Chain A
Amino acid sequence: QTVVTQEPSLTVSPGGTVTLTCASSTAAVTSGNYPNWFQQKPGQAPRALIYTTSNKHPWTPARFSGSLLGGRAALTLSGVQPEDEADYYCLLYYGGALVFGGGTKLTVL
């Protein structure tokens, strides 16, 4: 069973930059895993942010960007806003199956 690992928690100051990563237990994450990223605030449904590594949805703020970094998928937030405090989940594709990461709780402090 593939395990997808994210940082459990990160803290960033308002206006700062933070990178969240997403690693696979089986091999390096590549574009063939079509990484997706989601944001979830308490009591709300997840909101899609990034698909196929780096593509943004129409509603995704410009400060969010996706990439591959050192064998992992990465989500970078530049110029963090207080409203970015949330849980973030990555999602990877494995030849027909999808696996979510364990999530990163981002605190803006």
Chain B
Amino acid sequence: QITLKESGPTLVKPTQTLTLTCTFSGFSLSTSGVGVGWIRQPPGKALEWLALIYWDDDKRYSPSLKSRLTITKDTSKNQVVLTMSNMDPVDTATYSCAHTKKGPSWGPAVMNYWGQGTLVTVSS
């Protein structure tokens, strides 16, 4: 059974750096074809893809946010960490992580299992 859970601060101040952790179970990030993605959703708005990291340490970022994002993995701890710098009130959103598959049968990225997300508010 695949599960993912996001953790991190619920409130950050403008200009601060946000660090979020995705802790997962039911799969390993050392398995070929497996990755973890991050997605966010401002209240009442649409989903926005942020970043992806694969088992081979291949990393992908949203072009519009690339300069502010860093994604890393700790395979031994079953964790993926996302940092976002220079936070602004417009970054207030629910941040979610998702198990991602990649391969001939799946294509480049299929996010098939999602965590419940964690709401991050940016305010002074």
User: Do B114 and A45 have beta carbons less than 8 Å apart?
Assistant: yes
A93: nearest chain-B partner, CB-CB: B108
Scoring A93, A97, A99 by chain B CB atoms within 10 A of each residue's CB, the highest score goes to A97
Contacts of A74 in B (CB 8 A): none
Residues of B in contact, count (CB < 8 Å): 25
* A99 CA to B116 CA, complexed, in Å: 20
- Asked whether, in the complex, the Cβ of A100 is within 8 Å of the Cβ of B115, the reply is no
The 8 A CB mask of A64-97 against B (1 = contact, 0 = none) is 0000000000000000000000000101010011
* Interface residues as binary, A32-52 with B (CB distance below 8 Å gives 1, 0 otherwise): 001010101000011110011
* SS of A interface (majority): strand
A98 touches B112 (CB 8 A): no
Closest to A103 in B: B46
28 contacts between A and B (CB under 8 A): A1-B63, A36-B111, A38-B47, A45-B96, A45-B114, A45-B115, A46-B39, A46-B96, A46-B114, A47-B114, A48-B112, A48-B114, A51-B106, A52-B107, A52-B110, A57-B112, A89-B46, A89-B47, A91-B47, A91-B49, A96-B60, A96-B108, A98-B49, A98-B52, A98-B62, A100-B39, A100-B48, A101-B46
Residues of A at under 8 Å CB distance from B? 1, 34, 36, 38, 40, 45-48, 51-52, 57, 89, 91, 93, 96-103
Top 7 closest pairs, chain A to chain B, by CB = A34-B107, A98-B49, A45-B114, A100-B47, A51-B110, A52-B107, A48-B112
